[in-house]
Amino acid sequence: MRSLHLISLIALATAATACTKSADKPATTTAGSAPDFHNPADPGFATQAPDSFRARFATTKGDFVIAVHRAWAPLGADRFYNLVRSGYYDGLRFFRVMPGFMAQFGIHGDTAVTAAWRERRIPDDPVRRTNVRGMVTFATAGPGTRTTQIFINYGNNDRLDGMGFAPFGQVVEGMEVVDSLYGAYGEGAPRGRGPDQFRLNVEGEKYLARQFPKLDKIKKATVE
């Protein structure tokens, strides 16, 4: 029988992706400035990521750096690249932190932004790397449901490989910062006392600030 962790991980995106009906087209290389994360239809989101790049996350606990390799998961790398350069992740909380398992982020604090991204799914990438400590992967609610949510593996979660979770990058600096993210709230409701993803989608940052004020935040995410 699957553990609650795995059952919960399958439902990572909950309301943010459950009613999605369409998928984005594969990214192509385009020129231009950073896209506007308020508008997922901005052509800038079709920009292809470099073959490799680094993304620095400044957080309330310090900085960490993710090295992304497009060959590992091209569609995931492209989506992540454009979300970071658009400023989408700035100000977001690590809303699901489970020591020994993973740290998750990516539901926006502005409910209008969350709603705008609800149907912006990307197809799955083949799993070419293993979900071990430090690997960075998109969360899903089942096949073909990746949107904006990311998790960082705390330990050896190779059992996720067979479930279609395709790592696209790896924390190469500051893993101790990731380890220090506030995780005492534990698993989300209804299986735990942590944030309820449905309420987070509907109520946004106000819900987290009111009921889960100790959750750490991303101050700024940038492509280096």
Q: Where are the domains of the chain?
A: 4-223
Choice between 23 and 224, residue whose per-residue pLDDT is larger: 224
Confidence label for 33 from pLDDT (cuts 50, 70 and 90): confident
Q: Whole-model pTM above 0.75?
A: yes
Choice between 138 and 24, residue whose per-residue pLDDT is larger: 138
203 pLDDT higher than 70 = yes
Tell me the mean pLDDT in the region 29-53: 89
Q: What is the tens place of the pLDDT at every residue in 114-140?
A: 999 999 999 999 999 999 999 999 999
Pick from 183, 142, 148, 196: which is nearest to 164 by CA?
142
What is the model's pLDDT at position 32?
Answer: 58
Confidence label for 158 from pLDDT (cuts 50, 70 and 90): very high
22 contact partners, CB below 8 Å, separation of at least 6: 119, 121
Pick from 110, 57, 97: which is nearest to 80 by CA?
57
Confidence label for 111 from pLDDT (cuts 50, 70 and 90): very high
Confidence label for 47 from pLDDT (cuts 50, 70 and 90): very high
Tell me the mean pLDDT in the region 159-183: 98
Tell me the mean pLDDT in the region 71-91: 98
178 pLDDT higher than 70 = yes
What is the model's pLDDT at position 190?
Answer: 87
Rounded CA gap, 46 and 188, in Å?
33
The proportion of the chain whose per-residue pLDDT surpasses 90, expressed as a percent, equals 84
Superfamily classification of domain 4-223: Cyclophilin-like (2.40.100.10)
Mean pLDDT, the chain, integer: 89
Alpha helices in 87-166 (DSSP H): 111-117
State the DSSP code for 188.
B
Rounded CA gap, 65 and 169, in Å?
10
Per-residue tokens: 112: 């209008």
Rounded CA gap, 155 and 152, in Å?
9
The proportion of the chain whose per-residue pLDDT surpasses 70, expressed as a percent, equals 86
What is the model's pLDDT at position 29?
Answer: 45
